[in-house]
Amino acid sequence: MYVAVKGGERAIENAHAWLAEERRGDTSVAELSVEQIREQLALAVNRVMAEGSLYDPDLASLAIKQARGDLIEAIFLIRAYRTTLPRFGASLPVETGKMACDRRISATFKDLPGGQVLGPTFDYTHRLLDFKLAADGEVPEAATREAVSSDVPHVTEFLNHEGLIEEAPHDDTTPPDLTREPLEMPAERALRLQALTRADEGFTLGMAYSTQRGYARNHAFVGELRIGSVPVEMEIPELGFSIEIGEVTLTECETVNQFTGSKSEPPQFTRGYGLVFGQTERKAISMALVDRALRWEELGEEDEGAPAQDAEFVLYHADNIQATGFLEHIKLPHYVDFQAELELVRKLREEAGTNSVSEAAE
C-alpha cells in the first residue's frame, strides 16, 4: 500500500538557516568578499568556470562563497545559472596562436622561437608551507624584463615543416553541442573535446594517469603548454561584421605522441589536444592525454580494452554534475522502494526457512 506523506518543511527551513550561519562562520572573523575570492582564490575560480562551462569570474566567485568552498557544489550552481541565459550566438574559433602568453613551455624543444617562459607557476617551488603567508600579505613586486612583442608560434608547426607530425587540417563545420543535444555514441572528436574540457578534473586526471601507467600505451610528451589571454570574436548580425566581445584566459596543451604507423597512416608523431578555460594546467594536460587515447580508432590503432580508450565509459562518467546528481540522490527518501525490498527479503527468507525445515524432516 502506498501512503503519500508530507512534512519536513520546518526542518528544511531551519536546516537552511543553520547552513547560512555555518557558511558565515565565526562572526568575529572578517567576512570573505566575492572580490577577495576572485583575486586570491583564482585557481579555484578557474576550475569552477571550466567545469561549470561558463566564463564569468564574478559569478564563479559568488558560487564558491555560496557553496562554502565545495567546488562541485559551486559548479552545480554555475551550470544551473547557465541554463537561464539566452544564447546570443557562437564566437569565431579563438586563435590560440595569437595568445598573449603568461606562460609557454615545451618539454620537447629547449630552444624554440619565443623561448621557455615559466610564468606564475608552482613548478620548482619546494612545496613547503610558507608561514609568512599566515602572518602578513606583503609581497615583493615581480621582476620585469623588456618583452619582444610578437605572436608566439605553436611548437607543432616546426614538426609540421618536416611532415613528422599529423596535421590538424582547417575546416569550418559547425560542431555538435552537447548542451543542446544529448551526448550520444559514437561521439566525434569535436563532441569529445567539448565533454572533456568541462569534465571533472579529478576524473580526467585519473584517466590520463592510467594511460601513462600503460592502459592504452601512448607515451606523451608535452609538446607545448601555454597559458594566456585571447580575444573572443563574434559575428554581430545587426552590424554585418564581427567584433571582439571580450577576452578569456585559456590553458592549452598539445601533446606529441609516438606512433609507429598503421594500415592507413605512416609512422609519425600524433597529437592530443587540451584546451580549458582559465589557468588550469593539470586539467589541460590530462585532457590532451585522454583525447589522444580516445583517438585510437581514427588512427587505426588496436583496441587494448583500456578504460581510457572506451569513449562511452570516459564521456558518460566524466561529468561531475551528472555523477554527483545521480550519486547523491540515493540519500533522499526511498522509503517506498525500500519497503518493497524489505517485503521481498522477508518473503524469500520465509520460503527458504520453510524449505530448510521440510528438508530436515526428510
Partner 1 sequence: MSSCIEYRKVVEMKDVNEDHAPRQHWLSLMAKAPAGHVATLLDQAVTRPAFTWLRAPEVGSTMVRARAGSTGSPFNLGEVTLTRCALVLATGEVGHAYIQGRSKTDAEAVAIMDALMQTSTAATLQARVLDMLEAEQTAKRDARAAKAAATKVDFFTMVRGED
Footprint of partner 1 on 272-291 (CB under 8 A): 273, 275, 277
Sheet of 241-259, strand order: 100-105, 220-236, 241-259, 268-277
Only one of the segments 16-24, 231-239, 299-307, 327-335 lies at the binding site for partner 1 (rule: CB under 8 A); that segment is 231-239
Q: How big is the CA angle at 54 (ends 281 and 256), to the nearest 5 degrees?
A: 30
246 binds partner 1 (CB under 8 A): yes
Q: In the complex, what is the shortest distance from the CB of residue 123 to partner 1, in angstroms, rounded to a whole number?
A: 11
Q: Which of 118, 327, 336, 352 binds partner 1 (CB under 8 A)?
A: 118
Nearer CB in complex with partner 1: 163/353: 163
Residue 229 CB-density burial (10 A; 0-12 exposed, 13-18 middle, 19+ buried): middle
Q: In the complex, what is the shortest distance from the CB of residue 243 to partner 1, in angstroms, rounded to a whole number?
A: 4
Only one of the segments 2-10, 30-38, 100-108, 330-338 lies at the binding site for partner 1 (rule: CB under 8 A); that segment is 100-108
Q: Which of 90, 336, 345, 352 binds partner 1 (CB under 8 A)?
A: 90
Nearer CB in complex with partner 1: 179/339: 179
Distances 13 to 20, 76, 184 between C-alpha atoms, Å: 11, 21, 40
Three cell numbers at 131? 608561514
CA-based end-to-end distance of the chain = 38
Q: Which of 112, 234, 299, 323 binds partner 1 (CB under 8 A)?
A: 234
Only one of the segments 32-40, 129-137, 149-157, 261-269 lies at the binding site for partner 1 (rule: CB under 8 A); that segment is 149-157
Residues 162-221 contacting partner 1, CB under 8 A: 167-179, 189-191, 193-194, 197-198
Nearer CB in complex with partner 1: 236/340: 236
Classify strands 268-277 and 241-259 as parallel, antiparallel or unpaired. antiparallel
Give the three-state DSSP class for 138.
coil
Residues 31-50 contacting partner 1, CB under 8 A: 49-50
161 binds partner 1 (CB under 8 A): no
Q: Which of 28, 149, 264, 358 binds partner 1 (CB under 8 A)?
A: 149
Name 231's bridge partners.
Answer: 247
353 binds partner 1 (CB under 8 A): no
Q: What single letter denotes the amino acid at residue 329?
A: H
Looking up cell 623588456 gives 146
Residue 25 CB-density burial (10 A; 0-12 exposed, 13-18 middle, 19+ buried): exposed
Nearer CB in complex with partner 1: 182/333: 182
DSSP string, 190-244: HHHHHHHHTS-HHHHHHHHHHHHTTSS---EEEEEEEEEEEEEEEEETTTTEEEE
137 binds partner 1 (CB under 8 A): no
Q: In the complex, what is the shortest distance from the CB of residue 331 to partner 1, in angstroms, rounded to a whole number?
A: 30
Q: In the complex, what is the shortest distance from the CB of residue 233 to partner 1, in angstroms, rounded to a whole number?
A: 8
Q: Which residues contact 32 (CB under 8 A, 6 or more apart)?
A: 65
Name 101's bridge partners.
Answer: 228
Q: In the complex, what is the shortest distance from the CB of residue 118 to partner 1, in angstroms, rounded to a whole number?
A: 4
140 binds partner 1 (CB under 8 A): no
296 binds partner 1 (CB under 8 A): no
Q: Which of 17, 80, 245, 336 binds partner 1 (CB under 8 A)?
A: 245
Only one of the segments 25-33, 65-73, 207-215, 236-244 lies at the binding site for partner 1 (rule: CB under 8 A); that segment is 236-244
Q: Which of 2, 88, 326, 335 binds partner 1 (CB under 8 A)?
A: 88
145 binds partner 1 (CB under 8 A): yes
112 binds partner 1 (CB under 8 A): no
Q: Which residues contact 15 (CB under 8 A, 6 or more apart)?
A: none
The count of other CB atoms within 10 Å of the CB of residue 95 is: 11
